[in-house]
């Protein structure tokens, strides 16, 4: 408890885009409840604070830390350990922290390829081809930047995580309900779920919330939704050949994309109990292909031109696969 | 999410089998046993032994004694494949009071000693798979087998010789049989033949008494001109819907006098029984000895049904048995077991276009020739050319048409050599013509078959070893004019030959029925890529299938001759009679189940189940697996994208633990290699 008696709250971003922070602010007037119940002690995107301030706090003094972003470099890792030590409840918040998300797709590339893309490729404005160095001698002495790791790891691959909150970003109503829950726990009106649980989401899949009609599936062709001649707005997208990831994706978003006529891309991650989202989905899609002819099957599969992006867009780092072979070499 | 090694409180016994020298010849079994006792002690291994033959009574007693004296709660046997001895060791555990499903069999024979030559590596691999087994067995749960009662009735699908034999065996034992045959009469292909090899018995003479027995048997309910529409339920308790197609004959009035057939003005080519060589009427019985005796009216070809007038048959029928108003009937029967004896189709020799079938008049298929030789056939048994009168002077018989040919079927059709020899004999006997047999390899295994081959050789049939390149009517010399020329490489003489003949007989391959896959799906069994039904074990369980309660007999399982078809029919019957006598059956409790909370009803699994065990509840939008139908194959578990389906004995937890166990050993090696 702080001087004003309110429990302390921290939020941190590692390798992420910042969308998770916006989602937190997007909870609307709930933020007032939040403010009434918590004292924010550390939140780089919202307030000024230094790492040394956190280091100075007693261990376990922060009640709740929401961590978004994957562990991409040494700084991320150090702060993960620091906040773990200082926090009672550490939540992997959002897809990057729970399963790697888009930054995790870099695990298919070597460090050199990543640097090339960032500093030398056609999209970079870097005529002198400068590359940042970990250590640089300056007149004032040596300065350093954090070391870049060969792979991106999820938060729980580095420190123990108490709860997971999926989504890219987590839906604001889900955030609000989690905050509500914590406040109720503080007031003794509710109990926390078992450690290691996924919070702010359901245990079933997106299909459970999707109003589209579902039948037995027999797919003769996979296609982009834009290429469908007469998309049926009431029929399951997968049945129409659109590779919708809804059947494998955790329930929580309210099936927003399929209702808007776009396939689910899987940002809420694997459903409860699924260990490797991509593998599950690959075997599920393979199961609905309506052919026994190897050549025809081959042709049907050509309708999924980017399997890594289709099946592992959000969870490569958190999958059993974790990374491609290239990332092994520095 | 991180996996931390689970706390283990189990007391595990490890038993490593030598299997004589089968395993011990390649794997240092003693080292494996000592290693497990030492290095896996922290994982719960309290006893670790090696023994010459774990499956022997003494080996099993070792396990039983340890369970009782050491208080083992889990048993791991590193020996052969679970297919062989899982039941043995489970029973041993059971005898000692341990739930049999707490025993894990690790294959270090099929998966290690038999496939490796490097002793050291094989020993290390044995340790790895054993370690996987130990990690896995920790997660085993005690299970109870499912008991289901067996309905005493049996369904036999297919009224060929195999199905007839099966039906008679069961019916004679005093239990009810429903036989379903889609043709108007039972008899199958055997009814089309004149003679059977190697004894040259008259086919009809040995078959028709059995057909009559089926027709008259008080325990056999015969449905001809019928097909199975739907199969529900599971072993012991199938509900079968049979479509009894309209015969347009009142069978209770019909005497089988045949006047309707005689008077019917519509004559058409009989593609089925007469293989296209003869004619039948629109109202017909396929052959005089047909069982049942009642004819059927072929609606597609009947003048009345097609044009609205005729009814000649009705006019002449002395018992008023013709009924144009009849409709298909759906009949539901309860059975405990099912035998599929649906036979084969003949390969269409048109596909081997170079042999000219369908293009050159005097090229005959084997089935056509069977009809030519049949005394009741279209030529009264006279072997003549397509013109119906000319007796051939020279006949060529080509073996392996569509068999043992990468372009068509890789397999050997088994019966063609003997059938071709029979043909040679019949041609020789009835026409005195010169007979050539063109073969790749002569296959005359089984009792008295080779003696028959010797006999045909002595009769003077000429044998040319070589695959025929072409049958042509294009003459190159005056001697060839007007004849069929067989172009062949005589591989024994080492030269090309052109042999002019008047008639060519193509011994065509046996193929799965055109609708074999559809039927397999209907009954929930698996068939090979080309459509032969798959037996449970190719050697030790040849008539059972992976689906409990469904048996196969005869050519539906693969090409075979009459004696083998009959044996299989009898074998399937014996298996079923054993079941019926036991009155109930214990089913393996390895089953898939759906977590209803996790299932979102996406329906991806719904078409997957080869055993039709998946039910979808439209009202609640969830899928369920019927445990009595489920055979635990795991197809739906793999298909479920939500991870809502899991299999007893094969949970993610069990499999991941097993993988981790395997890797614990291998990681050690990788690290050694890295450091070294």
Does residue B93 contact residue B67 with C-beta atoms inside 8 Å?
yes
- Is B456 an 8 Å CB contact of chain A? no
Per-residue pLDDT reduced to its tens digit, B376-428? 899 999 999 999 999 999 999 999 999 999 999 999 999 999 999 999 999 99
Q: Are residues A213 and A319 in the same domain?
A: yes
Residue A165 lies in a domain: yes
The minimal CB distance from B603 to the residues A214, A251, A273 is found for: A214
Question: How large is the average pLDDT for residues A217-245?
Answer: 93
pLDDT of the residue at B666: 58
| Contact present, A273 and B594 (Cβ < 8 Å) | no
pLDDT tens per residue across span B268-289:
999 899 999 999 999 999 999 9
User: Would you state the pLDDT for residue A3?
Assistant: 58
ipTM confidence score: 0.87
Interchain pair A156, B2: CB under 8 A: yes
Number of separate helices (H) and strands (E) present in chain B = 16, 34
B615 vs A: CB within 8 A? no
Q: Is residue A201 part of a domain?
A: no
Number of domains in chain A: 3
- A24-75, pLDDT tens digit by residue? 999 989 889 888 999 999 999 989 989 999 999 999 999 999 999 999 999 9
Contact B639 A273 (CB under 8 A): no
Nearest 10 degrees: CA dihedral of B550, B554, B558, B563?
Answer: 150
Domain ranges within chain B, ordered by starting residue: 12-143, 153-233+334-343+523-573, 347-511, 592-647
Query: What span, in angstroms and rounded, lies between the C-alpha atoms of B127 and A323?
Result: 28
**Nearest to B196, CA basis, from B393, B383, B370:** B370
- pLDDT for the residue B3: 42
* Among B604, B621, B644, beta carbon nearest to A288: B604
Residue of B591, B602, B650, B659 whose CA lies nearest to B626: B591
Which chain B residues have a beta carbon less than 8 Å from that of A216?
603, 606-607
Q: Are residues A273 and A168 in the same domain?
A: no
Instruction: Give the mean pLDDT of chain B.
Output: 93
Q: Is the same domain home to A47 and A97?
A: yes
- The stretch B105-134 carries a mean pLDDT of 96
- Report the pLDDT value the prediction gives residue A330, as an integer from 0 to 100: 47
Q: What is the CA radius of gyration of chain B?
A: 31
**Interface-testing mutation among A194, A219, A250, A275, with chain B (most B C-beta atoms within 10 A):** A275
Shared-domain flag, residues A231 and A296:
yes
pLDDT band at B192 (very low <50, low <70, confident <90, very high): very high
How confident is the model over B32-70, as pLDDT tens digits? 999 999 999 999 999 999 999 999 999 999 999 999 999
Contacts of B607 in chain A (CB under 8 A): 216-218, 288
**CB atoms closer than 10 angstroms to residue B637:** 23
A209 → chain B, closest CA residue: B600
Same structural domain, A177 and A248 = no
Judgement on whether residues A296 and A225 belong to the same structural domain of the protein = yes
Q: What does the pLDDT look like over A179-209, one tens digit per residue?
A: 899 999 988 999 999 999 999 999 999 999 9
A70 with A210, same domain: the answer is no
Residue B606 with chain A: CB contacts under 8 Å: 216-217
A197 located within any domain: no
The CATH number given to whatever domain includes residue A181 is 3.40.50.700
Residue with tokens 């798959």: B534
Please say whether the dihedral angle defined by the alpha carbons of residues A203, A206, A211 and A212, taken in this order, is positive or negative: negative
φ/ψ (deg, to 5) at A133: -110, 145
Quick check: A247 and B600 CB within 8 A?
A: yes
Residue in chain A nearest B617 by alpha carbon: A215
- Chain-chain contact of B642 with A216 (C-beta, under 8 angstroms): no
Please enumerate residues of A whose Cβ is less than 8 A from a Cβ of B: 156-157, 160-161, 164, 196, 203-208, 214-218, 236, 238, 246-248, 251, 270-275, 280-281, 283-284, 287-288, 318
Q: How confident is the model at residue B675 (pLDDT cuts 50, 70, 90)?
A: very low
Q: How many angstroms away from the CA of A89 is the closest CA of chain B?
A: 17
Q: Does B6 have pLDDT greater than 70?
A: no
pLDDT of residue B484: 97
CA distance A194 to chain B (A): 15
Whether residues A141 and A167 fall in one domain? no
Name the residue among B598, B599, B643 with its Cβ closest to that of A280. B643
The answer to the question of residue A200 being in a domain is: no
- Residue B332's Cβ-count burial label (10 Å; 0-12, 13-18, 19+) is exposed
Contacts 24+ apart (CB under 8 A), A222-228: A222/A285, A222/A300, A222/A301, A222/A303, A222/A304, A223/A303, A225/A261, A225/A262, A225/A263
Evaluate if residue A285 carries a pLDDT over 90.
Answer: yes
Q: Is residue A180 part of a domain?
A: yes
A-B C-beta contacts closer than 8 Å: 93
Residue ranges making up the domain that contains A137: 111-149
B663 in contact with A, Cβ within 8 Å: no
CATH class of domain segment(s) B592-647: alpha beta
Same domain, A20 and A161: yes
Nearest Cβ partner of A281 from B1, B641, B656?
B641
The count of other CB atoms within 10 Å of the CB of residue B290 is 24
The correct CATH number of B153-233+334-343+523-573 out of 3.60.9.10, 3.30.420.40, 3.50.50.60, 3.30.365.10 is 3.50.50.60
Residue B499 exposed, middle or buried by CB count within 10 Å (0-12, 13-18, 19+): buried
Q: What's the CA gap between A18 and A24, in Å, rounded?
A: 10
How high is the pLDDT of residue B670? 47
- Closest partner residue to A284 among B598, B599, B640, by Cβ? B640
Q: Which neighbouring-strand residues pair with B339?
A: B156, B551
Chain A interface mutation, best of B521, B595, B600, highest count of A Cβ atoms under 10 Å: B600
Q: How far apart are CA B32 and CA B14, in angstroms?
A: 10
- What pLDDT, on a 0 to 100 scale, did the predictor assign at position B7? 66
Q: Count the residues in chain A.
A: 330
State pLDDT tens for residues B563-616.
999 999 999 999 999 999 999 988 888 899 999 999 999 999 998 887 789 999
Backbone angles phi, psi at B478, to 5 degrees: -55, -35
- Tell me, yes or no, whether A128 and A231 share the same domain: no
Report the residue of B6, B606, B638, B641 to disrupt the A interface, i.e. the one with the largest count of A CBs within 10 Å.
Answer: B641
User: Cβ distance A291 to A299 under 8 Å?
Assistant: no
Query: Are residues A137 and A160 located together in one domain of the fold?
Result: no
Architecture of domain B12-143: 3-Layer(aba) Sandwich (3.40)
Residue B22 is classified by DSSP as T
pLDDT band at B545 (very low <50, low <70, confident <90, very high): very high
Residue A83 maps to a domain? yes
Distance from CA of A252 to the nearest CA of B (A): 13
Shortest CB distance from B604 goes to which of A203, A247, A251?
A247
Residues of B within 8 A of A204 (CB-CB) are: 597-600, 642, 644
- Residue A216 to residue B607, Cβ atoms within 8 A: yes
In a domain, A35, yes or no: yes
The CATH number given to B347-511 is 3.50.50.60
Q: How confident is the prediction for chain A on average, in pLDDT?
A: 93
CA distance A268 to chain B (A): 12
In this prediction, residue B233 has a pLDDT band, given cuts at 50, 70 and 90, of confident
Q: Are residues A70 and A140 in the same domain?
A: no
Q: In this prediction, what percent of chain B has a pLDDT beyond 70?
A: 97
Residue B551 main-chain phi, psi, to 5 deg: -120, 160
Chain A contact present for B598, CB below 8 A: yes
Question: Cβ contact (<8 Å) for A248 and B642?
Answer: yes
Asked if omega into B382 is within 30° of 0 (cis), the reply is no
């Amino acid at each position: 408890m702080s001087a004003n008696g309110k429990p302390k709250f921290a939020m941190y971003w590692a390798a992420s885009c910042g969308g998770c922070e916006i989602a937190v602010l997007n909870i609307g007037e709930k933020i007032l409840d939040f403010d009434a119940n918590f004292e924010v002690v550390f939140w780089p995107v919202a307030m000024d604070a230094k790492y040394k301030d956190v280091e100075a706090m007693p261990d376990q003094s922060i009640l709740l830390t929401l961590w978004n972003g994957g562990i991409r470099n040494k700084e991320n890792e150090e702060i993960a350990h620091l906040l773990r030590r200082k926090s009672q409840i550490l939540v992997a918040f959002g897809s990057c922290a729970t399963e790697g998300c888009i930054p995790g797709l870099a695990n298919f590339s070597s460090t050199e390829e990543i640097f090339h893309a960032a500093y030398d490729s056609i999209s970079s404005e870097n005529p002198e081809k400068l590359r940042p160095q970990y250590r640089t001698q300056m007149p004032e002495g040596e300065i350093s930047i954090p070391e870049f790791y060969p792979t991106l790891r999820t938060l729980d691959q580095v420190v123990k995580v108490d709860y997971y909150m999926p989504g890219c970003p987590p839906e604001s109503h889900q955030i609000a309900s989690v905050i509500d829950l914590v406040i109720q726990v503080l007031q003794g009106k509710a109990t926390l779920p078992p450690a290691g649980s996924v919070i702010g989401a359901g245990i079933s899949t997106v299909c459970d919330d999707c109003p589209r009609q579902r039948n037995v599936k027999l797919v003769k062709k996979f296609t982009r939704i834009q290429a469908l001649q007469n998309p049926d707005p009431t029929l399951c997208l997968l049945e129409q050949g659109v590779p919708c990831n809804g059947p494998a994706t955790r329930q929580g978003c309210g099936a927003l994309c399929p209702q808007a006529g776009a396939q689910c891309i899987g940002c809420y991650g694997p459903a409860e109990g699924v260990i490797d989202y991509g593998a599950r989905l690959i075997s599920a899609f393979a199961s609905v292909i309506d052919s026994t002819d190897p050549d025809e099957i081959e042709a049907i599969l050509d309708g999924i031109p980017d399997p890594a992006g289709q099946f592992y867009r959000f969870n490569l780092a958190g999958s059993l696969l974790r990374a491609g072979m290239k990332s092994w070499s520095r | 999410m991180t996996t931390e090694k689970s706390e283990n409180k189990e007391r595990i016994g490890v038993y490593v089998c030598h299997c004589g020298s089968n395993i011990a010849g390649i794997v240092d079994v003693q080292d494996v046993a000592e290693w497990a006792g030492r290095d896996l002690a922290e994982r719960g291994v309290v006893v670790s032994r090696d023994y010459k033959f774990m499956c022997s009574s003494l080996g099993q007693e070792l396990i039983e004694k340890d369970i009782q004296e050491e208080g083992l709660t889990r048993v791991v046997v590193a020996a052969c494949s679970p297919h062989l001895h899982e039941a043995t060791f489970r029973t041993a555990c059971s005898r000692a009071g341990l739930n049999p499903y707490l025993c894990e069999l690790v294959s270090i024979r099929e998966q290690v000693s038999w496939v490796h030559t490097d002793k050291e590596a094989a020993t290390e691999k044995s340790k790895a798979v054993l370690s996987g087994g130990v990690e896995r067995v920790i997660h085993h749960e005690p299970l109870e087998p499912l008991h289901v009662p067996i309905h005493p009735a049996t369904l036999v699908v297919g009224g060929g010789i195999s199905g007839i034999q099966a039906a008679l065996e069961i019916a004679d034992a005093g239990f009810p049989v429903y036989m379903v045959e889609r043709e108007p009469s039972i008899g199958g292909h055997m009814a089309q033949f004149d003679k059977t090899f190697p004894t040259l018995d008259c086919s009809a003479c040995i078959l028709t008494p059995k057909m009559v027995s089926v027709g008259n048997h008080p325990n056999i309910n015969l449905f001809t001109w019928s097909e199975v529409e739907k199969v529900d339920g599971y072993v012991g308790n199938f509900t079968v819907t049979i479509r009894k197609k309209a015969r347009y004959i009142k069978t209770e009035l019909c005497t089988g006098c045949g006047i309707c057939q005689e008077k019917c003005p519509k004559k058409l080519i009989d593609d089925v029984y007469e293989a296209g060589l003869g004619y039948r009427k629109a109202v017909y019985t396929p052959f005089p000895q047909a069982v049942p005796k009642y004819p059927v009216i072929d609606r597609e070809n009947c003048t009345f049904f097609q044009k609205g007038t005729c009814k000649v048959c009705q006019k002449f029928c002395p018992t008023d048995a013709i009924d144009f108003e009849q409709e298909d009937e759906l009949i539901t029967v309860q059975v405990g077991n099912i035998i599929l004896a649906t036979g084969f189709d003949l390969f269409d020799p048109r596909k081997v276009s170079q042999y000219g079938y369908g293009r050159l008049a005097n090229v005959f298929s084997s089935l056509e020739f069977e009809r030519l030789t049949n005394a009741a056939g279209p030529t009264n048994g006279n072997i003549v050319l397509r013109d119906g009168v000319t007796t051939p002077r020279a006949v060529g018989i080509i073996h392996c048409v569509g068999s043992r040919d990468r372009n068509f079927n890789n397999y050997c059709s088994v019966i063609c050599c003997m059938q071709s020899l029979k043909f040679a004999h019949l041609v020789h006997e009835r026409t005195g013509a010169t007979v050539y047999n063109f073969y790749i390899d002569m296959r005359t295994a089984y009792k008295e078959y080779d003696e028959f081959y010797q006999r045909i050789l002595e009769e003077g049939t000429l044998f040319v070893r070589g695959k025929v390149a072409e049958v042509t009517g294009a003459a190159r010399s005056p001697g060839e004019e007007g004849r069929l020329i067989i172009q062949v490489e005589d591989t024994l003489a080492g030269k090309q030959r052109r042999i002019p003949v008047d008639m060519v007989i193509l011994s065509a391959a046996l193929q799965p029925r055109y609708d074999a896959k559809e039927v397999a799906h209907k009954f929930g069994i698996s068939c090979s890529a080309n459509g032969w039904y798959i037996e449970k074990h190719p050697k030790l369980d040849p008539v059972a299938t992976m689906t409990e309660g469904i048996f196969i007999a005869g050519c539906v399982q693969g090409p075979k001759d009459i004696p083998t078809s009959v044996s299989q029919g009898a074998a399937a019957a014996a298996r079923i009679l054993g079941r019926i006598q036991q009155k109930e059956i214990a089913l393996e409790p390895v089953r898939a189940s759906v977590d209803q909370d996790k299932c979102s009803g996406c329906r991806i699994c719904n078409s997957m189940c080869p055993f039709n065990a998946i039910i979808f509840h439209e009202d609640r939008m969830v899928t369920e697996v019927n445990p009595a139908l489920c055979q635990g194959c795991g197809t739906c578990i793999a298909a479920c994208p939500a991870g809502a389906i899991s299999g007893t004995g094969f949970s993610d937890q069990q499999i991941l633990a097993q993988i981790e166990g395997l890797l614990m050993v291998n990681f050690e090696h990788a690290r050694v290699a890295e450091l070294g």
